[in-house]
């Protein structure tokens, strides 16, 4: 009973951390979030996405293809709550809670140690990576929640065999939740078989049916395997192409098998970076929307229990379950290591989850060394307090202010302003081409108009990623400013940033500054000028 009460408290606490001030932190709605919201709105009301495609397997975003599950799950919240931050993020919040719950159930089922299970659940509820991902509409959080659920059902299914097909169905669904799972889920099937082949061969029939279901669910994706929808994301991010090698190969271009060596070298470089304690415990991501300022994926103090647990595992590494979890974590880094991006924590959530378990185990070892219950309580209270203070300052204060510099927050303000001035005509010329997506979201434009505007041939939906450069709806016109014609118009409002509207052009054309959207930290800003004042 006590365990259940503690678990309930942990889940409630986790929920509170995930919903408090959700409309303000993170500030505004990211470009990705705006696209998800608009597509969910479009599907919910018209059964078609913003380009007019009915129930797509991959959603065409502004410049890429997105996995569909998050969008489909957001349809209902958007219908009920409208296109608000909470509606867009609710799937992620629920996923975050599911991750905490599954962590407890899985650990309890695998290790049957309620102290470890509770501590793991507690840490999953407060670690920065989990908070960050649960408070934004990000697909990897959903994928991790489904993966953990499938893992739990799989282990349950070894005894109650009817659960096994459900586990495999869920594992297949992760493919539709996040791109990296297209590799990871397959690797998981192999890994699960290697570690449990004796038990699985005892229930051959049900295992065969489960695999069959797994494949059947993947069929829509397999049919699009060679289309741009299936490959564009990889092509966009990978370094394995000849073109990339020519541009970045350096000295490798001079040696035989240079490209192969370059790929191996780059892969190892990226992969090892995820293993570095510095990267996961101390380096805050320099790109604002990807991380919490001054906080890495974990709190710095967690490095101590982490190393203690590692020393323990290095001595006693024969436990099959620990090996399985360890391998799963390490395999999940492979897709991330194949991208040009530097350490990007949302791509390796299963790995970060495993590290959280290791940290929890290390702290449990420390606590077990302490004989006095008061001292144990004090230590646990101390580390949790430090963590929460860190989170409060860096996430709820610094991030809120600093993330406005990433144009999303500023774009929200901009289109809110243009919407309030619907009687005036704006020409939007921003260096961020995805601004159009945020405008669709802010204006809640009828998706049928947006589909008509784009005029996409739906036969080429999965193969044509080029977006029209010019769009016009309501009082907005997305296009390059014509400095000869537009500046001669009376009372035209020109929207741009320092790259598209320079100070010289302002002086030359005698433009009048109307509004400036900026952050106190960053010199980047969006300005609105009036022509012919």
Partner 1 sequence: MPNIFNSACSFHTVCIITKKHKDSKFTIGYLGCRVINELSFETDSGNFNWMDFLKQKSKIILILPVLMALFSAWTLRIFQQNQLLAILQVILAVLLFLMLFSRLPKIFNLFISLCLIINCLFFVVAHFDQDLTQISALEKNDLAIRQNYYPHRLGNFFHNDYTLGFYKLERNFFTNLDFNQFFFGGAPRYRPYALDFDKFPLIYLPFFIFGAYQLMKKAGEQKIAISAILLVLIIGGFGNPDYILGIYPLYPIILAISSFGVYKIYA
Cβ at position 266, least distance to partner 1 in Å: 9
Least Cα distance to 278 among 265, 257, 297 occurs for 297
Closer residue to partner 1, CB minimum distance, 46 or 301: 301
Closer residue to partner 1, CB minimum distance, 401 or 446: 401
Closer residue to partner 1, CB minimum distance, 20 or 215: 20
Closer residue to partner 1, CB minimum distance, 83 or 302: 302
Quote the Cα angle for 463-227-459, to 5°. Answer: 40
Euclidean distance between CA atoms 231 and 66, whole angstroms: 11
Cβ at position 376, least distance to partner 1 in Å: 24
Residues contributing to the site for partner 1 (CB under 8 A): 265, 268-270, 272-273, 276-279, 281-283, 286, 300, 310-311, 314-315, 342-343, 393, 397-398, 400-402, 520-521
Cβ at position 314, least distance to partner 1 in Å: 4
Helix (H) / strand (E) element for 351: namely: helix 349-369
Structure tokens at 168: 């495999």
Closer residue to partner 1, CB minimum distance, 4 or 315: 315
Closer residue to partner 1, CB minimum distance, 276 or 431: 276
Residue 429, classed as helix, strand or coil, is: strand
- Exposed, middle or buried by CB within 10 Å (0-12, 13-18, 19+), for 412? buried
Cβ at position 287, least distance to partner 1 in Å: 9
Least Cα distance to 290 among 132, 71, 523 occurs for 132
Euclidean distance between CA atoms 386 and 144, whole angstroms: 27
Least Cα distance to 104 among 84, 125, 127 occurs for 125
Closer residue to partner 1, CB minimum distance, 345 or 429: 345
Closer residue to partner 1, CB minimum distance, 508 or 522: 522
Helix (H) / strand (E) element for 512: namely: strand 512-518
Cβ at position 356, least distance to partner 1 in Å: 19
Cβ at position 276, least distance to partner 1 in Å: 5
Cβ at position 343, least distance to partner 1 in Å: 5
Least Cα distance to 476 among 456, 493, 452 occurs for 493
Measured in residues, the chain has a length of: 533
Cβ at position 442, least distance to partner 1 in Å: 26
Closer residue to partner 1, CB minimum distance, 88 or 297: 297
Are 170 and 153 spatial neighbours (Cβ–Cβ below 8 Å)? yes
Structure tokens at 437: 């997506």
Least Cα distance to 99 among 177, 169, 21 occurs for 177
Are 319 and 344 spatial neighbours (Cβ–Cβ below 8 Å)? no
Q: What is the 3-state secondary structure (H, E, C) of 148-181?
A: HHHHHHHHHHCCCCCHHHHHHHHHHHHHHHCCCH
Cβ at position 207, least distance to partner 1 in Å: 35
């Amino acid at each position: 009973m006590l365990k259940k009460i503690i678990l309930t408290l942990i889940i409630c606490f986790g929920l509170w951390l995930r919903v408090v001030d959700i409309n303000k932190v993170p500030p505004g709605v990211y470009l990705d979030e705006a696209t998800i919201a608009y597509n969910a709105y479009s599907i919910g009301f018209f059964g078609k996405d913003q380009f007019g495609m009915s129930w797509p397997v991959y959603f065409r975003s502004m410049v890429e293809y997105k996995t569909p599950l998050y969008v489909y799950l957001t349809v209902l919240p958007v219908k009920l709550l409208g296109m608000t931050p909470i509606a867009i993020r609710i799937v992620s919040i629920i996923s975050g809670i599911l991750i905490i719950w599954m962590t407890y159930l899985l650990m309890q089922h695998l290790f049957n140690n309620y102290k470890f299970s509770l501590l793991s659940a507690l840490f999953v509820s407060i670690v920065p990576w989990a908070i960050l991902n649960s408070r934004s509409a990000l697909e990897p959080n959903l994928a991790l929640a489904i993966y953990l659920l499938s893992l739990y059902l799989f282990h349950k299914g070894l005894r109650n065999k009817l659960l096994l097909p459900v586990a495999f169905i869920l594992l297949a669904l992760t493919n539709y939740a996040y791109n990296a799972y297209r590799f990871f889920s397959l690797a998981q099937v192999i890994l699960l078989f290697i570690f449990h082949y004796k038990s699985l061969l005892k229930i051959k029939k049900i295992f065969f049916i489960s695999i069959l279901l797994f494949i059947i669910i993947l069929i829509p994706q397999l049919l699009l395997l060679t289309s741009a929808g299936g490959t564009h994301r990889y092509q966009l991010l990978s370094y394995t192409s000849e073109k990339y090698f020519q541009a970045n190969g350096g000295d490798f271009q001079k040696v035989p098998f240079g490209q192969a060596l370059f790929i191996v070298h780059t892969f190892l470089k990226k992969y090892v970076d995820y293993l570095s304690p510095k990267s996961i415990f101390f380096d805050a991501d320099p790109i604002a929307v990807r991380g919490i300022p001054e906080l890495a994926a974990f709190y710095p103090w967690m490095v101590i229990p982490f190393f203690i647990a590692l020393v323990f595992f290095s001595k006693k590494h024969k436990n099959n379950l620990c090996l399985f979890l360890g391998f799963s974590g390490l395999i999940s880094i492979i897709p991330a290591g194949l991208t040009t991006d530097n350490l990007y924590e949302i791509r390796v959530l299963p790995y970060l989850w495993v590290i959280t378990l290791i940290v929890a185990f290390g702290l449990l070892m420390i606590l077990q060394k302490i004989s006095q219950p008061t001292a144990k309580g004090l230590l646990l209270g101390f580390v949790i307090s430090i963590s929460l203070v860190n989170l409060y300052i860096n996430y709820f204060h610094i991030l809120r202010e600093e993330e406005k510099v990433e144009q999303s927050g500023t774009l929200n303000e901009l289109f809110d302003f243009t919407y309030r001035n619907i009687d005036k005509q704006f020409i939007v010329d921003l260096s961020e081409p995805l601004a159009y997506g945020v405008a669709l979201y802010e204006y809640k434009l009828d998706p049928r108009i947006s589909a008509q505007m784009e005029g996409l041939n739906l036969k080429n939906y999965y193969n044509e990623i080029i977006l029209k450069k010019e769009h016009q709806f309501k009082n907005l016109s997305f296009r390059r400013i014509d400095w000869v014609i537009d500046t001669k118009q009376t009372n035209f409002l020109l929207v741009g940033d320092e790259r598209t509207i320079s100070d010289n052009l302002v002086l030359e054309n005698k433009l009048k500054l109307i509004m400036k959207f900026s952050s106190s930290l960053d010199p980047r800003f969006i300005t609105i000028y009036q022509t012919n004042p």
